[in-house]
């Protein structure tokens, strides 16, 4: 067993990345430590691609274990329950920056699991999860265009802070999670209390500088212990098929794709897709299996092209325009409170029920005791 450790200073605190001690059967596994917070991140890849799917089968899980905070589950059976809201959001934060960097058309199952082993209430395990997942993939044989790094930004006492203590996040005017590569930012998740644009830009710049440090440490670790990447040839389409689909849609696509009526637009695109497959499939039977995929790609590219070049979305709205909004209250007669919020064709019916303090729910989580009212 060969244990390798890489240390990097992030905002004046040491981030330790260790591999080779545990989970050796995984394609890649690392243990990240910052303070007394410890997260184990692993990645496993299937040996054969999954057949009959048209999506990338990536699963990212963030597992909270209450023993990490020295707590016993409060349920009657004293067992861990379903993932908390914090764990679900952490899984999504881990997934977002990783997914775009896998090869196009990749169909091997990838499972990334970050398990919180210890938490000190000062160093955020969510950020360790993103960095750990990236490092595990980087040193594995999984084809990937990473690494990525992640930090959380706060605004304390008027100053932008990289990875502020968890115990002070309640007083922070900014809660900004940033993830990206050394060259670009891939994900921003933010909440703020009236923070100015210049402050956010400063936070993004500071975040990216810290991300570069984290990415550099991952690459150095890969030089020491990284496995040879599995060979993978990205999906490519014949030039003839691409030209045929583009020519067929040149005079047809915009007429149905850019319509203010959502229902008409969706039905029009569906009908055009069917016609494209039927017409071109009959003329070019050797390409019939990929015509639908090329149609979908052309639709995506055309929507993006018009948004970027003209600032117009498919329904004719500009980049800053919102759909028609309406709000109704008191829509249900016997509830304590009710409201119907409508924006375009999206609706939310909300109901409020008032209870006493004895009705509040104690939440099981890694943070100090919380109650939900």
Residue in the structure block whose two tokens are 């064709």: 345
Helix or strand run (H / E) with residue 130: helix 125-139
Cβ atoms of 291 and 241 within 8 Å: the answer is yes
Structure tokens at 323: 């759909």
Report the 10 Å Cβ neighbour count for 76.
6
Structure tokens at 192: 């703020």
Residue 75 confidence class, pLDDT cut points 50, 70, 90: low
Inter-CA distances, 372 with 54, 179, 193, 366, Å: 40, 30, 22, 15
CA dihedral 188, 209, 155, 128 (to 10 degrees): 70
Domains of the chain: residue spans and CATH: 4-225 (3.30.230.70), 239-310 (1.10.10), 325-372 (no CATH)
Question: What is the per-residue pLDDT across 104-126, written as a single tens digit (0 to 9) for each?
Answer: 889 999 999 999 999 998 999 99
DSSP 3-state of 325:
strand
Question: What is the per-residue pLDDT across 285-325, written as a single tens digit (0 to 9) for each?
Answer: 998 889 999 999 999 999 999 999 999 999 999 999 999 99
What pLDDT does residue 1 have?
60
What pLDDT does residue 358 have?
78
How much is the pTM?
Answer: 0.85
Question: What is the per-residue pLDDT across 177-233, written as a single tens digit (0 to 9) for each?
Answer: 999 999 999 999 999 998 999 999 999 999 999 999 999 999 999 999 999 999 988
Average pLDDT, the chain: 93
State how far the Cα of 80 lies from the Cα of 229, in Å rounded to an integer.
36
What pLDDT does residue 51 have?
87
């Amino acid at each position: 067993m060969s244990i390798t450790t890489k240390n990097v200073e992030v905002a004046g605190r040491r981030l330790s990345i260790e591999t080779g001690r545990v989970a050796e059967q995984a394609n890649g596994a690392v243990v990240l430590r910052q303070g007394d917070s410890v997260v184990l991140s692993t990645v496993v890849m299937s040996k054969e691609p999954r057949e009959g799917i048209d999506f990338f089968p990536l699963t990212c899980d963030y597992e909270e274990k209450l023993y990490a905070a020295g707590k016993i589950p409060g349920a009657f059976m004293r067992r861990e329950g379903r993932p908390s809201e914090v764990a679900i959001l952490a899984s999504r934060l881990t997934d977002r920056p990783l997914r775009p960097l896998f090869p196009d058309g990749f169909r091997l199952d990838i499972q990334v699991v970050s398990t919180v082993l210890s938490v000190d209430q000062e160093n955020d395990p969510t950020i360790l999860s993103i960095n750990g997942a990236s490092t595990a993939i980087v040193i594995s044989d999984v084809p990937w265009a990473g690494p990525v790094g992640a930090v959380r930004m706060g605004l304390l006492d008027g100053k932008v802070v990289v990875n502020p203590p968890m115990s002070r996040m309640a007083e922070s005017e900014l809660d900004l999670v940033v993830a990206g590569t050394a060259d670009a930012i891939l994900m921003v998740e933010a909440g703020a209390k009236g923070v100015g644009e210049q402050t956010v830009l400063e936070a993004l710049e500071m975040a990216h500088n810290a991300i570069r440090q984290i990415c550099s440490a991952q690459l150095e670790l890969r030089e020491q212990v990284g496995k040879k990447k599995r060979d993978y040839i990205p999906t490519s389409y014949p030039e003839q098929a691409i030209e045929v689909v583009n020519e067929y849609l040149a005079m047809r696509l915009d007429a149905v794709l850019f319509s203010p009526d959502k229902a008409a637009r969706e039905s029009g695109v569906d009908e055009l897709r069917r016609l494209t497959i039927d017409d071109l499939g009959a003329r070019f039977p050797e390409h019939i299996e990929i015509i639908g995929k090329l149609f979908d790609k052309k639709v995506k590219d055309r929507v993006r092209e018009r948004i970027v070049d003209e600032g117009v979305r498919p329904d004719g709205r500009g980049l800053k325009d919102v759909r028609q909004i309406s709000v109704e209250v008191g829509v249900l007669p016997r509830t304590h409170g009710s409201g119907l919020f409508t924006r375009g064709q999206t609706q939310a019916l909300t109901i409020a029920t008032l209870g006493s303090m004895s009705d509040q729910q104690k939440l099981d989580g890694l943070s100090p005791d919380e109650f939900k009212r």
